[in-house]
Structure 1
Amino acid sequence: MKLHWSPKSPYVRKVMVCAHELGLVHRIELVRSVAAMLTPNERLMLDNPLSKIPTLVLEDGSTLFDSVVICEYLDTLAGGGRLFLERSELKWQALRWHALGDGLIDVLILWRNEREREVPLARLLSAFDLKAQAALRALDREAVHLELAPFSIGHIAIACALGYLDYRLDTVGWRQIAPRLRAWHDQVRHRPALALTEPREG
């Protein structure tokens, strides 16, 4: 399998964390791919017409995207029920955390893009700030449940969102906003799959 990959993308990181957790990383060839919003990547578009990463090319030449689909595919490839939990009382909680983590990443990417514009729109910056802080406070209230629940795709999405905050928006000061979430993250970030995939330049 080939993965269109970047060391900076939080969505690619989600896929790589899953691959490490599931023991599948050795089966994936990484293809360095740039997916800039204003410059579509023609090579990447041969596999994904949306010119987005991550995109996974399977051994038969078919493709899967985006990270939600790829992560579940990898879980199925590893036997199923490992990161996408099957017990209903755990499944829906994990999927909700997955959606919240991905949603926070969406907000953070848009927020960063707006901040980097020559003339940022103040109302947009304020809206992204408000949404990010609300998500962080909601996760802070649930930090104890994150600690007690079996490790899942929900934990991965949230950890990748917090890692992206550290990497791209460290001035937000999320650890002061969500101290209980900080304590959870300070523990989980040392998990090998997360430690090996921390965002980096290059």
Structure 2
Amino acid sequence: MWITNYESFWDSFWAGLISGTIYSLIVGIIVGLVIWNFQKNAETRQVERQSEREFSVFIQSLWVNLNLVNSVTLGYSFNSFIPVNIKKSMDLIKESPISYWNHTFNENHRYKKITESIIEIQEKYNEYTLLSNKLDNNLLQILKPRFANSPELKVIVALVNNIDEKTLIEWGTVQEAYGIKEYSEQHKKFLDTNPEDIYQYHETINTIQSKFKNLKDELITS
């Protein structure tokens, strides 16, 4: 009888110990997951708040740039014919971690739509830059490299961007006595050999300007 009770005791002891260990292990895992999830959410909220503070400063600077004069600067490249306010805004955007901010904001965050709009603008602006570089190279093929910094290059770039003769004379780029007649042949040749790229170039500029207008409206309502 004593042996039976002894064996029964140890059977109960080991069964209780094993079941208690398994229970404690399961509880420990659950508690650990709860704590880990809490810490992760706390860190996520902290990162989001930090990003929100940084982004708030960014959009204040962006707003200043968007309200700069909406004019272009005459230059030797097709890249130079983007309005000053957009150029300054893009310089700021390129220097800022837009993708990181967009990643840290949840889908319902008040800045989420703005960061996504800016990313779309970046993609379109990259397209504009590639087209501009291509047109620059194609124009130099017509004018030859020796004209890289010549009035001819400036004038034809301006004409493709719909700057009229009167404006070019006012800017001092074209002499009033000669006008743009001496550039007409090269201008026409460039238009005839690059119709699709020139069309896409203008379409891209119009899209960028439209997206920046929408962005400005989003900033007002955010």
TM more than 0.5: no
TM-score, normalised to structure 1, is: 0.27
- Give the greater-gyration-radius structure (CA): 2
Higher relative contact order (CA 8 A, sep 6+): 1
Query: Which of the pair is proportionally richer in helix?
Result: 2
TM-score, normalised to structure 2, is: 0.25
